């Protein structure tokens, strides 16, 4: 009898935990949806945010460009070396160029850019807005009749859409150039003609367009999540740290999920 009562208590606790988790998730989705709706209401009035958006985009691009290019260099270099090591002797060497182009354009360029921007920009936005929240600066904006979504969130989200695609293109170019150069130095028998032929064999305009689209989607996701989590900050300095950590973890999960979900788009064309 006591054993049955014990199992009943465990089941009750588990059920309550699951229900509470589902409720928290639904509330989270609801708040996200409300913020998306607020942003959509502001977008038709560009005079409220366009100047700040371009300022934020400039800051994002200039601040992150060296690190984005460095990560793209490493990604391209590793790809060409690994491809050469795996395929040398079994396939023609121009395959190195094809694999390099496919990997950098469709995956490494956008994803590495997103990871860098998540760590460099997303965390900074989350910490900044969370700090404003816990020090009641957000409440002061409301008291002055200014909507934080209009003046703080929308410019940053639009800036992400503006800044990320060019950064992705630059990362693609750096990754291809690095893979080309490092491949010539590390893969026996590989020539520039092999690399160029392989790249041309693979390349199609949709691959580059897909890379730019992916960069824009990642930019929207990173800036939106950072802004949302930042405005949800609570509890002083500890809350700021918690918001920053949450933004980075959640953005990492969302980026990988988007990466998977966008594969059919590449196949469609």
Q: Residue 233's pLDDT band (boundaries 50, 70, 90)?
A: confident
Q: Residue 5's pLDDT band (boundaries 50, 70, 90)?
A: low
Taking each helix axis as running N to C, give the angle between helix 2-42 and helix 205-231, from 0 to 180 degrees, rounded to the nearest 10: 110
User: Could you tell me where the DSSP H helices lie in 118-235?
Assistant: 123-134, 137-143, 148, 154-186, 192-202, 205-231
| 162 close to 53: Cβ distance less than 8 angstroms | yes
Using CA atoms, how far apart are residues 156 and 217, in angstroms rounded to an integer?
14
pLDDT of residue 63: 83
Q: Would you call 109 exposed, middle or buried from its count of C-beta atoms within 10 A (0-12, 13-18, 19+)?
A: buried
Residue 211 has pLDDT above 50, yes or no: yes
- Cα distances from 81 to residues 100, 109, 180, 199, 215, in angstroms, run 10, 17, 10, 16, 25
Using CA atoms, how far apart are residues 168 and 22, in angstroms rounded to an integer?
36
Q: Residue 155's pLDDT band (boundaries 50, 70, 90)?
A: very high
Residue 84 has pLDDT above 90, yes or no: no
pLDDT of residue 252: 92
Using CA atoms, how far apart are residues 233 and 264, in angstroms rounded to an integer?
36
Residues 156-181: tens digit of each pLDDT: 999 999 999 999 999 999 999 999 99
Q: Residue 83's pLDDT band (boundaries 50, 70, 90)?
A: confident
Question: Coil, helix or strand for 91?
Answer: strand
Q: Give percent above pLDDT 90 in the chain.
A: 49
Residues 100-135: tens digit of each pLDDT: 999 999 999 999 999 999 988 999 999 999 998 888
Q: Residue 209's pLDDT band (boundaries 50, 70, 90)?
A: very high
Residue 3 has pLDDT above 60, yes or no: no
Please list, in sequence order, all residues whose beta carbon lies within 8 angstroms of the beta carbon of residue 1, skipping any fewer than 6 positions away.
none
Q: What average pLDDT does range 201-221 have in this prediction? A: 92
Look at residues 124, 116, 118, 119 and name the one whose alpha carbon lies nearest to residue 73. Answer: 116
- For residue 234, how many C-alpha atoms fall within 13 Å in the half-sphere facing its CB? 1
pLDDT of residue 137: 87
pLDDT of residue 269: 67
Residues 12-68: tens digit of each pLDDT: 778 788 888 788 788 888 888 888 898 999 898 889 889 999 999 998 888 889 999
Q: Residue 236's pLDDT band (boundaries 50, 70, 90)?
A: confident
pLDDT of residue 4: 56
Residue reference for tokens 């893979």: 179
Using CA atoms, how far apart are residues 161 and 218, in angstroms rounded to an integer?
8
Could you tell me the sign of the dihedral formed by the alpha carbons of 64, 66, 70, 76, in that order?
A: positive
Using CA atoms, how far apart are residues 57 and 161, in angstroms rounded to an integer?
8
Q: What average pLDDT does range 217-239 have in this prediction? A: 88
């Amino acid at each position: 009898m006591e054993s049955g009562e014990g199992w009943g208590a465990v089941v009750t606790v588990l059920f309550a935990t699951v229900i509470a988790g589902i409720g928290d998730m639904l509330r989270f989705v609801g708040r996200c949806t409300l913020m998306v709706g607020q942003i959509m209401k502001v977008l038709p009035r560009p005079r409220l945010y366009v100047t700040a958006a371009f300022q934020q985009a400039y800051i994002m691009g200039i601040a992150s460009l060296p690190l984005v290019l460095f990560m793209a260099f490493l990604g391209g270099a590793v790809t060409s070396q690994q491809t050469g090591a795996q395929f040398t002797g079994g396939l023609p060497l121009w395959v190195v160029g094809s694999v390099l182009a496919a990997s950098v354009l469709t995956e490494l360029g956008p994803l590495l850019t997103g990871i860098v921007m998540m760590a460099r920009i997303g965390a900074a936005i989350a910490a900044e807005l969370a700090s404003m929240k816990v020090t009641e600066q957000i409440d002061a904006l409301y008291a002055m009749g200014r909507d934080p979504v209009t003046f703080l969130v929308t410019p940053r989200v639009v800036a992400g859409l503006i800044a990320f695609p060019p950064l992705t293109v630059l990362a693609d170019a750096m990754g291809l150039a690095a893979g080309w150069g490092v491949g010539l130095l590390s893969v026996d028998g590989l020539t520039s003609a092999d690399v160029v032929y392989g790249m041309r064999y693979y390349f199609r305009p949709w691959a580059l367009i897909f890379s730019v689209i992916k960069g824009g989607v990642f930019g929207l996701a990173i800036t939106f999540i950072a802004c949302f989590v930042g405005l949800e900050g609570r509890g002083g300095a500890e809350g700021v740290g918690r918001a920053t950590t949450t933004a980075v973890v959640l953005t990492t999960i969302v980026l990988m999920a988007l990466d998977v979900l966008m594969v059919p788009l590449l196949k469609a064309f």
